[in-house]
Amino acid sequence: MSIDLPISKSIANRLLILQALHGEPLLSVDSPDMPDDVRVLHRALTEIAAGGSRIDVSNCGTAMRFLTAYCAQLRGRSIMLDGDKRMRHRPMEQLVNALIACGADIWYEGEYGFPPLRIHGKSLSVPVSGEDAKRFIAINNPESTQFVSAMLLVGLETHSDSRSPYILMTRQVLQRYAEHKTVDLERDWSAAAFWYEYVALHGGSLHLNGLRRDSVQGDAVLADIFRSFGVSSYFDTTGVTITRDRACRRYPRILSFRNVPDLYPSIAILCRQLRIPLWALHTDALRLKESDRMQSVREQKTYSDHRVAMALMVAGLPCDDPHCCSKSYPCFPEHLEAVKEDIPMTLER
């Protein structure tokens, strides 16, 4: 069975910001499998272009962070960025401080360090050049690597001690856009995690269309991670076929989630279902996502977190909010029902 994964919202949202910065038409979001997060940023950019001054990004962290940098360089514009209750508890201080160091005017309208933000757009620049700039504008140990990406997307070269693949993705997208005025909208490796989880739990084979071994997405590492869970990946020109072709070894796993926080729900719930001890390292960022993912997985409640919802559903566990999947994977419930007909849920312990 073949599955058409959604496009990578990480790549699409970076492309949207670059298109807006360069006055290019925004990519179309009319496809029914377009992630809600991409629609949120597209709508926000459209409203800003039409003169809007109050922008609501709901619980889309990418939109909040990228738009903070984008609005900060819109000379002469005054814009309020806000979101839902969860967004008002997602930190912004590191990004705001870095932008202020480049000349931005940004105020907190509520609790210090968190949205909503009042932004008066100005011309921004890194105040020093060369190697000094790397020391002056630094976001080390970032609470979100999107802070660094937001700065880079608006042309503010920023140093960070993070080796996140998401920052590398941003640099690669910038390079490709500079060369071609567009980037390839790859299919989403983060969404593939749930099908790897499904095959690890229930067996069978699935073909995931459009995934590339040489992807700019850091979550492509899941193909290597899932080898120890008995799932092999066979790439061809159309995508990858994943197959559980050997038994899962039940030794304890020690995994770092510093660079792959979106893989935690699928791996943690898989380990719980197979009664495999998991020592999860570098989990601080997990508490700052759409939910506190450590808590959500522990309680098996979504708290409207799309990745927790999908990880629960492929494991055959109750899900209190299946509709939140649309944040990154609108067609997931339909795809899951089709897969269950082809590969029934038969968890082997």
> For residue 328, how many other CB atoms are within 10 A of its CB?
24
3-state secondary structure of 287: helix
Q: Return the bridge partners of 253, or none.
A: 278
Tokens of 267: 């791996």
Spatial separation of the C-alpha atoms in residues 327 and 101, rounded to whole Å: 33
Spatial separation of the C-alpha atoms in residues 297 and 301, rounded to whole Å: 7
3-state secondary structure of 54: strand
Catalytic residue flag (residue 262): yes
Catalytic-role residue among 262, 284, 320, 321: 262
- Tokens 């806000």 belong to 82
Spatial separation of the C-alpha atoms in residues 206 and 3, rounded to whole Å: 7
Spatial separation of the C-alpha atoms in residues 313 and 326, rounded to whole Å: 14
- Contact partners, residue 274, CB within 8 Å, separation at least 6: 200, 201, 229, 248, 250, 349
> For residue 339, how many other CB atoms are within 10 A of its CB?
21
Tokens of 303: 């708290």
Tokens of 166: 């998401």
Check whether the bond before 142 is cis (ω within 30° of 0): no
Spatial separation of the C-alpha atoms in residues 301 and 168, rounded to whole Å: 32
Indicate which residues carry an active-site annotation: 262
